[in-house]
Amino acid sequence: MKFSIEKKLAGTLARAGTIETANGTIQTPAFVVVGTKATVKSLTSEQLRSLNAQVVLANTYHLYLQPGTDIVEQAGGFGPFMDWHGPTMTDSGGFQAFSLGAAFGQQVSKVATGKAPMQNIDLEGLYSNKSNPLAKVTDEGVLFKSHLDGSKHLFTPESSMLAQWKLGADMIFAFDECTSPTAPYDYQAKSLARTYEWAKRCLVHWNKLNAESEAGLPEKIPQEFRRALFGVVQGGRFQDLREQAARDLGSLDFDGYGIGGSFTKDDIGTAVGWVNALLPEEKPRHLLGIGEPIDLFEGVQAGCDLFDCVLPTRIGRHGTLYTHDGKIHIKNAKFVADFAPIEDGCTCYTCTHHTRAYLAHLFRGDEITAGTLASIHNVHFLLRLVEKIRASILDDTFFEYKKEFLEKYSR
């Protein structure tokens, strides 16, 4: 992988650039479409190409369990497996330490609306006697119980690197522990130290896998064609921990950086800015699991180059659609006889061929096509939004575009 910066936006950390991989070039800032199980829910790879998606991210934990990383490796990696031949990414499985462990049964996500820490979290990342979690965090790794059959699996930094190597992505993430946004300071600090130790172990094993793959070759693989490893910055909502993580991981030889963990909705831009002010400028930064339109502007302004999120297809499958005037819920009665497109001026397949009334009919009739058409529009909306953000950096109109978009979207 090779990253280059084309333009920096004065007075901010925002920049426009390019990431070169063995499977194609990504123009940044870019939205990464999530294909959890080597499929973007409700969409085909051909539809992704028609939307001009640049890069797809798959989930290591889910593909490890089904169909298994050996099967995916035999297919040539998850990209060829799903007939996607552009750039690819995989996460590490670390987020499942949160979603199947501390967050299991708690109705808490990685983004909180308040800032009060929970007091009932113990030092192994599990909430005290309030659920039957499927993951337990230790210094060695994360012990998972499969959500499919209850079988036990230990994910370590080393096994995560091997799994992601077999999945064949161009860019992968170091194994980390994602903590709850409500976790107290003491636990965040303990978790941060653990994630740093895991990061060093990931680097050692990733370099070993690269050396083994290049053994016998006449020369080393050029940097732009070598698969990349991103470190993951954690630290919760605490500035000193975030900055410590950025300094520690920034001193290690990662190819790029993911910014993970937990935020409150109001401090995404602030917390990300703390981190990106300290990370090496010449390496790409990926804001993990964030994809709301408003958050994309904040993340770009704070120096992020890549974003991934399941939201466009997840909310689409339930009838919620992005428009420049804000989200609409197509199941509402007012859309039953509305023969306008989802959004005037939108060039996606859904808007150029179908009406709000048709989508309302499909959703009310529980038709499978409903989720596909809604997801096409939502993914198109975010891809075009980030394209326009990139263009506004290049022509120095970012703040004008941000103001214009948010005034209309938020009203």
Report DSSP letters for 257-302, one per residue.
EEE-S-EEGGGHHHHHHHHHTTS-TTS-EEETT---HHHHHHHHHT
Task: Count Cβ atoms below 10 Å from residue 80 Cβ, excluding itself.
Answer: 15
Written as one string, the DSSP assignment of 165-221 is HHHT-SEEE----PPPTT--HHHHHHHHHHHHHHHHHHHHHHHHHHHHHHTT-SSPP
Q: Which of 83, 91, 149, 295 is catalytic?
A: 91
The answer to whether the beta carbons of residues 290 and 267 sit under 8 Å apart is no
CA angle centred on 248, ends 118 and 87, rounded to 5°: 90
Sign of the Cα torsion 318, 321, 327, 332 reads: negative
And the tokens for 190? 């303990």
**Parts of the chain with a pLDDT under 50:** 101, 103-108, 114-130
Written as one string, the DSSP assignment of 236-264 is TT-HHHHHHHHHHHHTS--SEEEE-S-EE
The answer to whether the beta carbons of residues 157 and 138 sit under 8 Å apart is no
Helices (H) and strands (E) in the chain, counts: 15, 18
Q: Which of 186, 253, 308, 396 is catalytic?
A: 308
91 is catalytic: yes
The answer to whether the beta carbons of residues 192 and 135 sit under 8 Å apart is no
Distance between CA 183 and CA 118 in Å, rounded? 6
Distance between CA 219 and CA 274 in Å, rounded? 40
Distance between CA 69 and CA 131 in Å, rounded? 30
308 is catalytic: yes
The answer to whether the beta carbons of residues 377 and 342 sit under 8 Å apart is yes
- Please choose, from the candidates 50, 52, 140, 150, the residue with its C-alpha nearest in 3D space to the C-alpha of residue 100: 150
Neighbouring residues of 156: CB distance < 8 A, sequence distance ≥ 6: 140, 141, 175, 201
Strand partners, 228: 171
The answer to whether the beta carbons of residues 356 and 338 sit under 8 Å apart is yes
- 228-233 and 256-259: which strand pairing? parallel
- Please choose, from the candidates 260, 252, 367, the residue with its C-alpha nearest in 3D space to the C-alpha of residue 307: 260
**Total-model pTM:** 0.91
Supply the pLDDT for residue 125: 39
Strand partners, 285: 257
- 285-287 and 306-309: which strand pairing? parallel
Supply the pLDDT for residue 335: 98
* 128-175 pLDDT per residue, tens: 334 557 778 889 999 888 888 989 999 999 999 999 999 999 999 999
Supply the pLDDT for residue 261: 74
Supply the pLDDT for residue 112: 54
* Dihedral, 68, 260, 285, 38 alpha carbons, nearest 10: 20
